[in-house]
Amino acid sequence: MYKLLIVDDEPQILEGMKRSLDWEKYGFGRIETSETYEGAISKAVEFLPDLAIFDVCIGKYRGYDAINKLNELRLPSKYIIMSGYGDFKYALEAIRCGAKDYLLKPVDRTQLQQVVEKIIVEDLNGTLQGVERDDLDTDPVLGMRYDGLSKLTNRILLIVKAEYAQNLTLKSVAERFRMNGTYLGQLFLKETQMKFSEYLMAYRMLRARERIQSTDEKIVSIALSVGYPNLNYFYSHFHAFFDKSPSDMRRKE
């Protein structure tokens, strides 16, 4: 049985994460929580979790600092960072400390499930009934395995995953890498066969579809949550991508 540690300084978030998945179904027989940095370090050293989920902000401390500390202690745990901020610096720190993924709050259940399943199969050498390993290691838009993509492209995909709800552009991404936007766009297109803007739109559409199918949120709220302040623009892209309206998809699904 696996062991899970969830760290967040908000008790309601801890309870929500404990209920977000059927953890027992995935083989987690023990779940511990902590609201403090010190408590997280202590509990992690005490029971050696197979998976630990850290909020990026734990009071005045940072979740990635706690992960770096545990890495120094050579704990065998795998880590996920969650955050209410889409700031690139947090996503970058998540990469640096070796976190397996960076999830934005409110954490999307489907995304969390996919990440947990991937960690179980890829890192914990577990098995999942009816889950194919290739599916877990394949980008949902590109249909390509992550390990077949360059480090630069994987970093760009991580930025999109972390900040798709914001006003994200190729130019803003290129500035972070101190690269020319046109050149970066050409590299991305050559490797993925998609323009950056096309990938971003497709990723937003997939996230929107997940919310439409799994929640009762109003369409206008879903549009905002995936980076579309203009509802008409969202409807236009959604219909072009899925050949049906958001309302039709909700009724038929």
Give 204-228 pLDDT, tens digit per residue.
999 998 888 877 789 999 999 999 9
Between residues 129 and 115, the one the model is more confident about: 115
Long-range residue pairs from 212-220, CB within 8 A, at least 24 positions apart, any chain:
212/246, 212/249, 212/250, 212/253, 213/249, 213/250, 213/253, 214/109, 214/110, 219/246, 219/247
User: Taking the alpha carbons of 82, 96, 148, 129 in that order, is the dihedral positive or negative?
Assistant: negative
Domain covering 2-136 assigned CATH 3.40.50.2300 in the classification: yes
CA angle 6, 11, 15 (to 5 degrees): 60
Instruction: Kindly tell me if the per-residue pLDDT of 131 is higher than 60.
Output: no
Start and end residues for every CATH 1.10.10.60 domain found in the chain: 144-253
141-167 pLDDT, tens digit per residue, is 998 888 889 989 988 998 888 788 888
Least trusted range by pLDDT, from 4-13, 39-48, 106-115, 234-243: 106-115
* pTM more than 0.75: no
CATH classification for the domain delimited by 144-253, as one of 1.10.1060.10, 1.20.1630.10, 1.10.10.60, 3.40.50.300? 1.10.10.60
Least trusted range by pLDDT, from 20-24, 191-195, 233-237: 20-24
Between residues 79 and 146, the one the model is more confident about: 79
Start and end residues for every CATH 3.40.50.2300 domain found in the chain: 2-136
